[in-house]
């Protein structure tokens, strides 16, 4: 049974994964979806902005929960200046600094005016708004090597973690914008967007799987998957991800090719909502694994 502070740590860590996904997936969707459904650009900007603002708030709450957990104090007595200064010099403090800096850079980037839909994609990638957002995302991805099981690990483990986090955040954070796309009645734009996403997703998803397997083998070896709680929960996560992959393939090979009439849209929308629920469960399990479960 989790204590009060452990529950807060778990919920905020889960929320931080969702916020990161919203920032990365939303930023990517501003580039992807604006080609086919430019009217969604304001909603996507709001999606990224809310995710980043939530990330800033949850970063401080997570830091506070770590302090309160160490002090074993009530909410009203959970702040201690000396403990806060001490924690700022630990991996928890580094995580806070990288997260807050990253989310603030994204918010600064989103404060710049949106460029015209007629501008080239290269202009979109190289404008000030995008540069701030990309720099913020880089800091956010790096932050996950500052806390958890990858702290003080070799550089190649950190690299695998960064690739894994970036690919997962992009994939998960892109599904909500795709669901918004299906809320319109423009079947041509919907089909083109989903087909393009299916083509783009192949490389990140493969990278996600490879990096995840590599980290699992490095952390647990070949023999500890069933004997350790971490390994058992990791297998559960792999099962959930496998179901997500099966659902994604079902979209690509069955539902999307049949988007020729409006009566085919409800099935696509329901399937995307199911995918969102599965992805939320994966992030929740990841939050629990990275916060409470020891490798040995």
pLDDT digits (tens, 9 = 90+) for 81-105: 888 899 999 989 999 999 999 999 9
Residue 221 has pLDDT above 90, yes or no: no
Q: Based on DSSP, count helices (H) and strands (E) in the chain, helices before strands.
A: 10, 0
**Euclidean distance between the first and the last CA atom of the chain, given in angstroms as a whole number:** 20
What region, left, alpha or beta, does residue 45 occupy, with left being phi > 0 and alpha being psi -120 to 50 degrees? Answer: alpha
Give me 124's structure tokens: 């979109």
Q: Within 10 A of 79 (CB to CB), how many other CB atoms are there?
A: 13
Task: Output the pTM of the full model.
Answer: 0.90
Q: Which residue has the higher pLDDT, 34 or 252?
A: 252
Residue 283 has pLDDT above 70, yes or no: yes
Mutual angle of helices 229-250 and 265-292, in 10-degree steps: 160
Please, which pLDDT band fits residue 213 given cuts at 50, 70 and 90? confident
Q: Which CATH number fits domain 4-292: 1.20.1630, 3.30.70, 1.10.10, 1.10.3470?
A: 1.20.1630
In angstroms, the CA 146 to CA 95 distance is 6
Please, which pLDDT band fits residue 37 given cuts at 50, 70 and 90? confident
H helices of 33-127, where?
Answer: 41-71, 81-88, 91-111, 121-126
Dihedral angle at the C-alpha atoms of 207, 210, 215, 218, nearest 10 degrees? -150
């Amino acid at each position: 049974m989790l204590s009060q502070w452990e529950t807060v740590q778990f919920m905020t860590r889960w929320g931080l994964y969702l916020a990161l996904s919203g920032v990365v997936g939303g930023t990517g969707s501003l580039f992807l979806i604006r080609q086919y459904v430019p009217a969604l650009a304001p909603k996507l900007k709001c999606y990224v902005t809310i995710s980043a603002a939530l990330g800033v708030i949850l970063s401080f709450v997570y830091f506070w929960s770590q302090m309160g957990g160490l002090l074993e104090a009530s909410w009203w007595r959970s702040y201690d200046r000396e403990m806060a200064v001490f924690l700022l010099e630990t991996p928890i403090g580094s995580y806070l600094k990288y997260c807050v800096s990253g989310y603030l850079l994204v918010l600064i980037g989103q404060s710049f005016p949106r460029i015209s839909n007629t501008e080239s994609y290269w202009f979109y990638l190289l404008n000030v708004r995008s540069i701030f957002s990309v720099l913020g995302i880089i800091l956010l991805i790096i932050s996950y090597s500052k806390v958890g099981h990858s702290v003080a690990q070799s550089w190649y483990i950190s690299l695998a973690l960064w690739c894994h986090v970036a690919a997962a955040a992009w994939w998960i954070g892109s599904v909500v914008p795709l669901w918004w796309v299906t809320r319109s009645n423009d079947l041509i734009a919907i089909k083109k967007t989903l087909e393009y996403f299916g083509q783009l997703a192949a490389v990140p998803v493969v990278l996600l799987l490879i990096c995840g397997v590599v980290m699992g083998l490095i952390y647990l070896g070949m023999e500890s998957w069933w004997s350790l709680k971490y390994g058992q929960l990791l297998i559960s996560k792999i099962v959930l991800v496998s179901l997500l992959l099966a659902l994604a393939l079902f979209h690509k090979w069955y539902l999307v090719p049949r988007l020729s009439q409006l009566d085919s849209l409800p099935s696509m929308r329901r399937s995307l909502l199911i995918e969102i629920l599965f992805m939320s469960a994966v992030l929740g399990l990841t939050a629990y694994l990275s916060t409470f479960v020891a490798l040995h």
